[in-house]
Amino acid sequence: MEFIEILKAILFGIVEGITEWLPVSSTGHMIILEELLDVEQTYGEAFWGLFLVVIQLGAILAVIVCFFNKLNPFFGKSLINPDELKSKEEKKNIWILWAKVLVACLPAAIVGLILDDILDQYLYNSITVSITLIVYGGCFIGLEIWNRKREFKINSTGELSWRMAFFIGCFQLLSLIPGTSRSGVTILGAMLLLCNREVASEFSFYLSIPVMLGASLLKLVKYFIDGNAIVTEQALFMLIGCVVAFGVSMLVIKFLMAFIKKHDFKPFGIYRIALGLLLIILFACGVMNI
């Protein structure tokens, strides 16, 4: 494997690790980066479609590690009193939380299975990314301004009702459009339902686990059913990307959870709008292809 390909894989891992958890659209950034590095031409269109999804496995592992005690219903220290072990009630509540996560995943899972190929064919392009970056950037700014007049009522993931979990899952449907940001749109949905920023972000992280695992499995099955194979260079490229995405994700998740305790999401909205406008200018000048 050439050194330049290793650097490309590392760069993709860094971008995935940063953008997967910040509400700025990981898929959008990955599509833009591919436009610049042209990985699809090197490894093939089929592999690029697979890589775009499977690299998220490294990011998922970071969520599992960071929130392992909160997500583990079998053993571990109490979330209420760290000097004790989890009570039966705490373990039961974790199982209920997992059930709510699965309920929230249903809308996107069903629609995604039906429309996966259509979305890949018609929407996975830079112009779609540009538009959605700007639209949802405006949504973040608008929502944060509106939130000044509202009081958050949900201050822990345990307070989320079944209906709220399902509605947050319905918002996740919008993330099937590239550039939207899965974490971004679920955070927006949760905050509209009066979840505070920490709860919105944390529940969005939890949702990523079954969503990304399912998407990766689906892509792998389709990839091999279509008669494709993974050669050594492709496997190494994917492995390097996943490992780097894991390490970067660990840092970014901790950063975001600390950041939102003192700040709101408006800076991310401004970034999205600025990036979307920059892309449109680059298209207009012929620097990038639509």
Helix (H) or strand (E) holding 89: helix 88-122
CA distance 277 to 157: 35
pLDDT at 218 over 90: no
pLDDT of residue 290: 57
The predicted-structure confidence for 153-162, as pLDDT tens digits, reads as follows: 999 998 999 9
The predicted-structure confidence for 167-201, as pLDDT tens digits, reads as follows: 999 998 888 888 888 889 999 999 999 999 999 99
Residue 194 burial (10 A CB sphere; 0-12, 13-18, 19+): middle
pLDDT of residue 288: 65
The predicted-structure confidence for 59-102, as pLDDT tens digits, reads as follows: 999 999 999 999 999 888 887 777 788 889 999 999 999 999 99
pLDDT of residue 118: 74
CA distance 246 to 65: 10
The predicted-structure confidence for 97-118, as pLDDT tens digits, reads as follows: 999 999 999 988 888 777 767 7
